[in-house]
Structure 1
Amino acid sequence: MIYEHAHLVIDPARAHDFESAAPTARKALQDAPGCREVSIFRSADKPGTYLLRVGWDRIEDHLEVFPTTPQAATLADAIAGYFTETPLVIHFESEEI
């Protein structure tokens, strides 16, 4: 499995609206081919900052398959409008070193 970590930054004044949209985003990801788990965490010390953590079967499921799915459009419609900067996305292997 591969873990996507996406660092999301939004206007703190819109945090309530973003968090209200998060279940729709989570559902879209969970329904995507190759997705195994989804979590969204609120920063404890930086208002308006979130971590989206998604477990994918393969990196290709995220980078090649997902962008062409209806779920990707649903995700974008639900939360993309809240970002104040482009999310930083990094993929991690599931095996510990």
Structure 2
Amino acid sequence: MILEVATLDVKTGLEPEFELAFIKAQKIISSMPGYVSHQLQKCIEKQNRYILLVNWQTLEDHTVGFRESPEYQEWRSLLHHFYNPFPEVEHYQSIDKNENTHGVV
């Protein structure tokens, strides 16, 4: 499983509108092939910062299946105008705890 992590800085004052738009947008992402789950969290220290965590079955489910889909265009139109700067998106994978990859016992 792949974890997509996006740091979302919403233009100040638009947070309530963003949250309403996200309610619609989450229906889009949750319907995509390879989607597993997601969370949107709001930062306590910076009121306009959010973090979006999305679990995908594979990296390609996000980078190709979602981002190259017509549904992504709808996602973009709902959300992308709220961001400044544009979000940084990274992908993470779990480390097998049974495998000792760093020589630590």
**TM value normalised by structure 1:** 0.92
Question: For residues 12-23 of structure 1, what are the structure 2 equivalents within 5 Å?
Answer: 12-23=12-23
Distance 1:20 1:29 in 2: 15
Match of 1:87?
87
- Alignment check: 8 A CA contact 1:22 1:79 kept: yes
Q: Which runs of 4+ in 1 moved over 4 A?
A: none
Gaps of 5+ in 1: none
Distance 2:89 2:60 in 1: 14
Distance 1:96 1:81 in 2: 38
Match of 1:27?
27
Q: How many residue pairs are counted as aligned between the two chains?
A: 97
Q: Structure 1 pair 46/4, CA: closer, same or farther in 2 (3 Å)?
A: same
- Alignment check: 8 A CA contact 1:32 1:69 kept: no
Distance 2:96 2:40 in 1: 22
Match of 2:6?
6
Gaps of 5+ in 2: 98-105
Distance 1:47 1:96 in 2: 35
Match of 1:66?
66
Greater Rg over alpha carbons, structure: 2
RMSD: 1.3
